[in-house]
């Protein structure tokens, strides 16, 4: 007998196990049984007396009466026209690739044929059905001769997957209502999986269920042994559905257990209490605000203030639409921490964004950011910036401000995580754009707090997250959402330009930029790549084009090429700047400063401006090769415009056909400014495979059946269940099965990867 932990070498033998390991990374019995069918084949209806309806899938056992080669009418080639006799009827069947079949499908032979009914006029036909030739062996010909499987398509594969130890075909598989079809590869067919799974299940001991009986009974879930057997070979549709429901719940519960454990761990840690005060820097900042916060900002600020007042570290996600005012909410929270005598760190994903945050926060604080300077306000603090490309002297100054405590707010990129960066008393960490950082990076910054304490954590994202994603990847964080836009901000108008069929519209895009600049405003032109040393050629209508990845790949526009084209052509009379990630840090700062101050009219750039860049005077954005960007990325990019009092216009240019799916996706983005709707569209477009990045995670563990789109109720139920289990048994000492699920079903590094996805 076998257990889930047994190596497949021991159960199946090396010849069968090696391809599974090499191609799919399947090494144990459990690995194999967790490789679930992605669909099921049904043999279809038996042939009745009446003519079957169009599209019905039927399976028949029939004798070949005739088989004739015929020429195709509308094109070169031949097909094999076959007449089958079954149940007193004659059925026409058509086979393509006839030269491979004319010596097999011959008059007098009996076989099993399976396919969909298609009508031609009043006559129906089976077009290229799957088949397997049957033998005589005293059973009315309804057997496949041992060792001589002759056929094609799914029925032949099914026969190959049902060969027993003696080499004979187990015909019972042809009677099954549902035949499993597995994710397969050239070297490991679906039928190979079916044969291996049948072999393993025949040897498998009863599987001990890790879920307590009370949890299963409350939800009407079948036991795990039944689920693992039925998901592969269900006898009925109900068996299949109940098995999948149980296994989906297990997948959801496993990750929720890890997140609930993190939440429990956070509740046991100690953090600095930072209650709000009425006469500190935070109150002075509020008094100076030249505008009124939205109701949503007040509500979220109150939630954060309450968390900061507690003796345990805050762990909160602040998500909201592009331009909804997350930064000012985070700044008010940091000032509350400074009032309590502590420091804050703000971690940004790019140097451009870190520098932008530093400029923006210093501007909002005014003299309150001039701590240590002559004539500064008595409550003032210092705002320090630390990035990797800064000069040695600037870095040394920033490091000194952090370690002495002179800087109440230290803003930086990954440079903040380096070992040499020390704080006097770090009590709060703000992480901007959560999806750009992993858990280990968050924890590295957390570790810089005083010994035996943990800093409060505020995670911000302008990429709205569907509830199911939030529950499954950020379930250890409380969530606050900002949905209102600040007063006076107009919705952005978006248009999609099919550049190949409407090249004149590209010219019109450049004209619109001229019109906005003439009105005193500014524009972005965003490209999907920087550019390189490949030979380039000039495309139509003044856009420099060249191959991006391969000889037959789609053409894309490089930023460095388009900058040259625009600044010497359509926009030679405007002040055009260039910004991309390969520029030295000082050059990037100078360019952004010039764009901020209005010295640059048009900024040709890459996605370094995707998040956080705030130039209220910018009203137009042209996105070249917009199909190369994801849905959320497009939403982020266009959020850089219309941040002042003027209408924003986003023009998405694509060289793809308007009839394709990618172009339709762009039109869907253009149709709405609702980031949460777009997040759902993004999830539906990419599906879970891309969201979870299974191929990059380094493990075969992951979501196989659970769908973030379709299974919100299961995820929510699993979250409640996990929290309830930890509430009753914090160490899981009385629930060893649950503890094993948390350890093995989802490895912790897998969950960490989810947070980076």
Give the model confidence (pLDDT) of 150-178 as tens digits: 888 888 888 887 777 666 777 777 777 78
* Six token digits for residue 532: 């390189």
Average pLDDT, the chain: 84
Q: Which domain holds residue 323?
A: 281-482
Say which DSSP state 627 is in: G
| SS3 label, residue 325 | coil
50 within some domain? yes
* 3-state helix/strand/coil string of 478-519: EEEEECCCCCCCCCCEEEEEECCCCHHHHHHHHHHHHHHHHC
68 within some domain? yes
Tens of pLDDT along 585-605? 888 889 988 999 999 999 999
Tens of pLDDT along 555-584? 789 999 999 999 999 999 999 999 998 888
**CA atoms of 754 and 739, how far apart (whole Å):** 20
Both 455 and 497 in a single domain?
no
In this prediction, residue 518 carries a pLDDT of 96
Residue 672 has pLDDT above 60, yes or no: yes
630 within some domain? yes
403 within some domain? yes
Neighbours of 733 (CB within 10 A): 8
Residues 6+ apart with CB under 8 A from 659: none
Instruction: Provide Rg for the chain, Cα atoms.
Output: 32
pLDDT band for 751, please (50, 70, 90 cuts).
very low
- Give the range among 141-145, 265-269, 656-660, 678-682 with minimum mean pLDDT: 141-145
Residue with tokens 């030269």: 99
Both 313 and 447 in a single domain?
yes
Residue 188 has pLDDT above 80, yes or no: yes
Pairing state between β 130-133 and 89-95: unpaired
Q: Give the DSSP H/E element, type plus range, for residue 23.
A: helix 14-24
Both 523 and 456 in a single domain?
no
In this prediction, residue 121 carries a pLDDT of 78
pLDDT band for 17, please (50, 70, 90 cuts).
very high
Both 613 and 645 in a single domain?
yes
Both 468 and 560 in a single domain?
no
Tens of pLDDT along 483-537? 776 666 677 899 999 998 999 999 999 999 999 999 999 999 999 999 865 433 3
Both 342 and 424 in a single domain?
yes
Neighbours of 592 (CB within 10 A): 24
Identify the domain boundary among 482, 511, 543.
482
213 within some domain? no
In this prediction, residue 486 carries a pLDDT of 64
Residue 343 maps to which CATH number? 3.40.50.300
**CA atoms of 531 and 527, how far apart (whole Å):** 10
Identify the domain boundary among 160, 176, 192.
176
- Give the range among 26-40, 134-148, 240-254, 713-727 with minimum mean pLDDT: 134-148
Both 302 and 328 in a single domain?
yes
Both 392 and 460 in a single domain?
yes
pLDDT band for 441, please (50, 70, 90 cuts).
low
Cα 698 to its chain centre, rounded Å, is 16
Residue 431 has pLDDT above 80, yes or no: yes
Q: What is the pTM of this model?
A: 0.69
Both 507 and 468 in a single domain?
no
Tens of pLDDT along 372-426? 887 788 999 999 999 988 889 999 999 999 999 999 999 998 888 887 899 999 9
Residue with tokens 């497009």: 634
Both 478 and 500 in a single domain?
no
Q: Give the DSSP H/E element, type plus range, for residue 345.
A: strand 343-347
Residue burial 717-727, b: 16+ Cβ < 10 Å; e: rest: bbbebbbebbe
Both 286 and 421 in a single domain?
yes
Number of domains in the chain: 3
Both 444 and 574 in a single domain?
no
């Amino acid at each position: 007998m076998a257990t889930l932990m047994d190596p497949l070498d021991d159960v199946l033998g090396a010849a069968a196990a090696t391809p599974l390991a090499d191609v799919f990374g399947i090494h144990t019995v459990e690995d194999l049984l967790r490789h679930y069918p992605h669909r099921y084949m049904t043999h279809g209806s038996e042939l009745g007396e009446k003519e079957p309806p169009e599209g019905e899938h039927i399976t028949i056992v029939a004798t070949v009466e005739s088989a004739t080669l015929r020429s195709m009418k509308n094109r070169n080639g031949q097909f094999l026209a076959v007449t089958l006799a079954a149940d007193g009827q004659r059925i026409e069947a058509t086979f393509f690739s006839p030269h491979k079949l004319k010596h097999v499908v011959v008059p007098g032979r009996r076989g099993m044929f399976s396919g969909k009914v298609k009508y031609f006029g009043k006559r129906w036909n089976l077009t290229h059905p799957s088949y397997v030739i049957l033998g005589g062996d005293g059973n009315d010909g309804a057997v496949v001769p041992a060792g001589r499987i002759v056929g094609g398509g799914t029925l032949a594969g099914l026969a190959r997957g049902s060969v027993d130890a003696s080499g004979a075909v187990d015909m019972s598989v042809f009677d099954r209502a549902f035949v499993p079809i597995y994710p397969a590869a050239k070297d490991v067919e679906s039928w190979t999986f079916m044969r291996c799974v049948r072999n393993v299940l025949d040897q498998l001991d009863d599987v001990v269920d890790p879920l307590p009986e009370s949890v299963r009974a409350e939800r009407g879930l079948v036991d795990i042994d039944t689920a693992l057997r039925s998901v592969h070979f269900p006898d009925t549709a109900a068996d299949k559905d109940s098995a999948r429901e149980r296994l989906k719940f297990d997948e959801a519960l496993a990750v929720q257990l890890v997140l609930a454990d993190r939440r429990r761990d956070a509740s046991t840690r100690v953090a600095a209490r930072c209650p709000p005060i009425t006469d500190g820097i935070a109150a002075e900042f509020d008094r100076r605000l030249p505008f009124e916060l939205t109701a949503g900002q007040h509500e979220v600020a109150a939630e954060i203030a309450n968390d900061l007042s507690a003796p345990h570290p805050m762990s909160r996600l602040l998500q909201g639409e592009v331009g909804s005012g997350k930064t000012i909410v985070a700044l008010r929270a940091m000032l509350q921490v400074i009032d309590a005598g502590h420091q804050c760190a703000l971690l940004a994903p790019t140097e451009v964004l870190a520098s932008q945050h530093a400029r923006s926060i210093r501007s909002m604080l005014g003299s309150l950011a001039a701590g240590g300077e002559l004539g500064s306000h008595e409550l003032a603090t210092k705002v320090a910036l630390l990035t990797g490309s800064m000069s040695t002297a600037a870095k040394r100054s920033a490091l000194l401000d952090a370690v002495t405590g002179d800087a109440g707010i230290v803003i930086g990129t990954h440079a903040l995580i380096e070992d040499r960066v020390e704080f006097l008393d770090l009590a709060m960490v703000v992480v901007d754009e959560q999806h750009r950082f992993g858990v280990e990076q968050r924890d590295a910054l957390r570790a810089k707090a005083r010994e035996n304490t943990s800093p409060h954590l505020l995670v911000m994202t302008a990429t709205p997250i569907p509830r199911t994603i939030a529950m499954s990847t950020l379930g250890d964080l409380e969530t606050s959402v900002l949905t209102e836009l600040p007063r006076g901000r107009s919705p952005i108008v978006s248009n999609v330009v099919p550049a190949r069929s409407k090249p004149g519209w590209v010219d019109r895009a450049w004209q619109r930029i001229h019109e906005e600049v003439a009105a005193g405003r500014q524009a972005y032109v965003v490209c999907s790549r920087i550019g390189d040393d490949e030979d380039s050629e000039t495309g139509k209508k003044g856009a420099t084009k060249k191959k991006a990845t391969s000889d037959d790949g789609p053409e894309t526009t490089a930023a460095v090429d388009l900058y040259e084209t625009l600044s010497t052509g359509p926009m030679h009379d405007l002040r055009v700047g260039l910004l991309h990630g390969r520029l030295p840090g000082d050059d990037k700062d100078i360019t952004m400063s010039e764009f901020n101050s209005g010295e640059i009219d048009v900024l040709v750039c890459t996605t370094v401006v995707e998040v956080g860049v705030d130039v209220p005077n910018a009203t137009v954005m042209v996105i070249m090769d917009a199909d190369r960007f994801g849905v959320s990325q497009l939403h982020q990019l266009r959020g850089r415009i219309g941040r002042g009092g003027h209408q924003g216009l986003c023009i998405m240019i694509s060289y793809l056909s308007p009839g394709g799916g990618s172009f339709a996706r762009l039109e869907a983005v253009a149709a709405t400014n609702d980031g949460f709707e777009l997040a759902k569209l993004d999830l539906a477009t990419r599906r879970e495979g891309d969201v979870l990045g299974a191929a990059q995670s380094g493990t075969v563990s992951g979501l196989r059946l659970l769908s973030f789109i379709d299974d919100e109720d299961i995820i929510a139920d699993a979250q409640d269940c996990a929290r309830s289990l930890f509430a009753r048994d914090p160490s899981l000492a009385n629930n060893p099965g649950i503890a094993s699920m948390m350890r093995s079903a989802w490895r912790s590094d897998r969950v960490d990867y989810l947070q980076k996805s």
